[in-house]
Structure 1
Amino acid sequence: MKINQKEFTINGIDYIIRSAIRKDAEELSSVRLQIDGETENLDREKGEAFIDTQGFESLIQADTENEKNLFLVAVANDRIVGFSRCEGNFLKRLAHKVEFGIGILQDYWGLSIGTNLLKESIAWADSSGITKITLQVLESNDKAIHLYKKFGFKVEGVLEHDKILSDGLYYNTVVMGRFKG
């Protein structure tokens, strides 16, 4: 699915949020790899589950054609600095919901890019008849959990000892959902 492009200016930085297009594939591959190396808030370490240009081309095409999916990019200074995806399901019992995921380059944290990617995803879901958005977030990622709660997400459960981070310790994953009935 596609959305109309939106423009934002935060702290003097201009950026746009738009649907991903095929020509983004190569850059998305390198941006995702960089993001994975900048934070432990995601499931992957740098280089794990690598998606190459062709993989992103396929993903973008499928998401563009699939009314239950949405792939957004944030572009600042003529480069992709973040992205989000909502992935749906055509099984009848699951067709009402999508899973949300997000990644933003560390140099662009604090510019409300995550907030605006989330807002656009929620607006799309609400206008597309999707009634539930789910996500998973590391329990120690207080800033993200606060943001999700601000937009109506509730904690639905905790996956205990779900991830092992670089310090060798186990961390919990919080499962959150937003239901618009």
Structure 2
Amino acid sequence: MNYVIRLARAGDAQSLSAIRLQIDAETENLDREAGEDFMDELAFRDLIEADSKAAHNLFLVAETEGKLVGFSRCEGSTLKRSKHKVTFGIAILKTYWGFGIGSELLQHTTQWADGNDITKITLSVLETNQKAILLYQKAGFEVEGCLKNDKRLAEGNYLSTILMSRNT
């Protein structure tokens, strides 16, 4: 599959709103259930604009044949004691899992971090998302902790959240 990883643009906002909603409905691997914390086109435009101005934020999209199929985002801090680190998240439409898009989004992110004085990337991942945990470990991330029974799924089961980071 041919795809491109690039910076998010204001024109992506409508598509990002739609695919985020779809991704939330396709997997329990994320923090939200379908429709929760909905972001409309305007909210995504504002986020993309803010990220483009923030030195330690990065918003990437994955695009194939003119269609957005995933995205990743790093959010940093302006606080002096936290300027060295960012929090990372990734989301890809289920149909496009297994094509290396997540790996490439992560690779672009770590290269950006290495070139922008970011020495720590943090993320959280549900304990059941073993493919993501392995991907992060291959990229040099280590488990820093576990939040036991951190997420409650719709059917009432609890899952723990694994905290991971990559330090340079």
TM normalised by structure 1 equals: 0.92
Q: Deviations over 1:95-136 (max 9, x none)?
A: 000000000000000000000000000000000010000000
Which one of the candidate residues 26, 29, 42 is aligned to 1:41? 29
- Which residue of the partner structure matches residue 120 of structure 2? 132
Deviation at 1:160, TM superposition (A): 0.4
Percent of aligned pairs with the same residue? 57
Q: Deviations over 1:141-174 (max 9, x none)?
A: 1110011011110100000000112332111000
Asked if residue 52 in structure 1 is aligned to residue 40 in structure 2, the reply is yes
Asked if residue 144 in structure 1 is aligned to residue 144 in structure 2, the reply is no
- Which residue of the partner structure matches residue 67 of structure 2? 79
* Distance in 1 between residues matched to 2:150 and 2:58, nearest whole Å: 27
- Which residue of the partner structure matches residue 23 of structure 1? 11
* Distance in 1 between residues matched to 2:65 and 2:139, nearest whole Å: 28
Stretch deviating more after TM superposition (39-48 or 165-174):
165-174
Q: Deviations over 1:42-89 (max 9, x none)?
A: 000010000010000000001111110000000012110000000000
Note the aligned Cα RMSD (angstroms).
0.6
Letter in 2 for 1:57: R
* Distance in 2 between residues matched to 1:171 and 1:22, nearest whole Å: 35
Q: Deviations over 1:6-45 (max 9, x none)?
A: xxxxxxx110000000000011000100000000000000
Size of the alignment, in residue pairs? 168
- Which residue of the partner structure matches residue 164 of structure 2? 176
1:87 counterpart SS class: strand
Asked if residue 164 in structure 1 is aligned to residue 156 in structure 2, the reply is no
- Which residue of the partner structure matches residue 100 of structure 1? 88
Which one of the candidate residues 39, 63, 69 is aligned to 2:57? 69
Greater fraction helix: 2
* Distance in 1 between residues matched to 2:162 and 2:32, nearest whole Å: 16
* Distance in 2 between residues matched to 1:68 and 1:135, nearest whole Å: 15
TM normalised by structure 2 equals: 0.99
1:44 counterpart SS class: coil
2:28 counterpart SS class: coil
